[in-house]
Amino acid sequence: MASTADFRNGLTIMLDGEIFRIVEFQHVKPGKGGAFVRTKIKNVRTGRVLDPTFRSGEKIEIVRLESRKLQYLYQDPNGYIFMDNESFDQLHLPQHLVEEVIDLLKENTEVDVLFHGEEALGIELPTTVDLRIVETEPNDKGDTASGSKKPAKLETGAVVNVPFFVSEGEMIRVDTKKREYLERVKG
């Protein structure tokens, strides 16, 4: 058992028999009364977000999740197929687990899948992915340093804003957390 002093963003806890990940928290010490911790937590199975408040020092149960490297293979009508890089077993992950990241996920990409026992609970993409632009407006000659951006559709279906000098067919590096263009890459 741990206490609210151990809270940090990304910590996984058990609350009322459900597994939650702490999205954000704030320690509050009012002038009158005891201190408390205001949190925003997300259910890792359903995605539902709650805003519970805990008394300072209250005991909580921390859940240890195991991270395994899996390679995305393909999508079939029942979900998404991944391969375990160590055992080469193929695992079927349901759509609700993958839908938030699928627009940045290309075949053969390695991802970290979080497990609680044998149950997959979440997917973490690499920090950056390299993707090809399949559709964007043509270049504007001379517009290289204005800082403005234009939308570009990527090979996976995601749309990110890119500088005007970036063209259709080019490979770019995308930050998967912020979903932003970082740079052009050769490829």
Which tens digits make up the pLDDT trace of 158-182? 999 999 888 899 999 999 989 999 9
Segments of the chain assigned to CATH 2.40.50.140 = 66-124, 128-185
**Residue 9, SS3?**
coil
pTM of the model: 0.73
Q: Is 178 left (phi over 0), alpha (psi -120 to 50) or beta?
A: alpha
Q: What is the mean pLDDT of residues 69-74?
A: 94
Q: What is the mean pLDDT of residues 65-76?
A: 92
Q: What is the mean pLDDT of residues 92-120?
A: 89
83 or 165: which leads in pLDDT? 83
For residue 47, what pLDDT is reported? 79
| Domain spanning 66-124, CATH architecture | Beta Barrel (2.40)
* Highest CATH level, class, for 2-62: mainly beta
Residue 9: what are its φ and ψ, rounded to 5°?
A: -60, 135
Q: How confident is the model at residue 154 (pLDDT cuts 50, 70, 90)?
A: very high
For residue 143, what pLDDT is reported? 56
* pLDDT tops 80 at residue 17: yes
For residue 39, what pLDDT is reported? 94
Kindly report the CATH number that applies to the domain delimited by 128-185.
Answer: 2.40.50.140
* pLDDT tops 60 at residue 6: yes
User: Nearest-CA neighbor of 160 among 143, 138, 180, 134?
Assistant: 180
* pLDDT tops 80 at residue 107: yes
- Location of structure tokens 């709650």: 50
For residue 62, what pLDDT is reported? 93
For residue 141, what pLDDT is reported? 62
Do the Cβ atoms of 83 and 91 come closer than 8 Å? Answer: yes
141 or 127: which leads in pLDDT? 127
- The three-state DSSP-derived secondary structure of 2-34 is EEHHHCCCCCEEEECCEEEEEEEEEEECCCCCC
Q: What is the mean pLDDT of residues 133-156?
A: 80
The type of residue at 183 is E
User: Nearest-CA neighbor of 19 among 111, 120, 95, 101?
Assistant: 120
